[in-house]
């Protein structure tokens, strides 16, 4: 498993585009935040495949911390 910083950019028409500052090749979208987030897995798998084909390693910064280390995450939460 990996922790990947993601940027969810709302689109003028509708939906969200998702990119990652840690993995510039990661690009996906969705009609809702939930759909966009669900599509990240497929986009990440494509990036892993691309890196493997190119003989590149994924950035160390996206690896999960060792057991017992702090794990930081962010989430968008709407208010009523």
68: helix, coil or strand? coil
Determine the pLDDT at residue 62.
83
Nearest one of 75, 77, 56 to 6, comparing CA atoms: 75
Nearest one of 43, 41, 38 to 28, comparing CA atoms: 43
Q: Is 6 or 3 the better-scoring residue by pLDDT?
A: 6
Least confident of 25-29, 35-39, 60-64, 66-70: 66-70
Determine the pLDDT at residue 68.
65
pLDDT digit string, tens, across residues 44-75: 999 999 999 999 999 888 876 666 666 666 66
Gap between the Cα atoms of 68 and 37, Å rounded: 26
């Amino acid at each position: 498993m990996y922790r990947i910083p993601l940027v969810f950019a709302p689109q003028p028409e509708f939906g969200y585009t998702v990119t990652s500052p840690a993995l510039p090749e990661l690009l996906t979208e969705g009609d809702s935040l939930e759909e966009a987030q669900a599509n990240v897995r497929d986009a990440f798998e494509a990036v892993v495949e691309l890196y493997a084909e190119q003989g590149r390693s994924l950035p160390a910064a996206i690896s999960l911390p060792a057991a017992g280390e702090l794990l930081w995450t962010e989430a968008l939460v709407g208010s009523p």
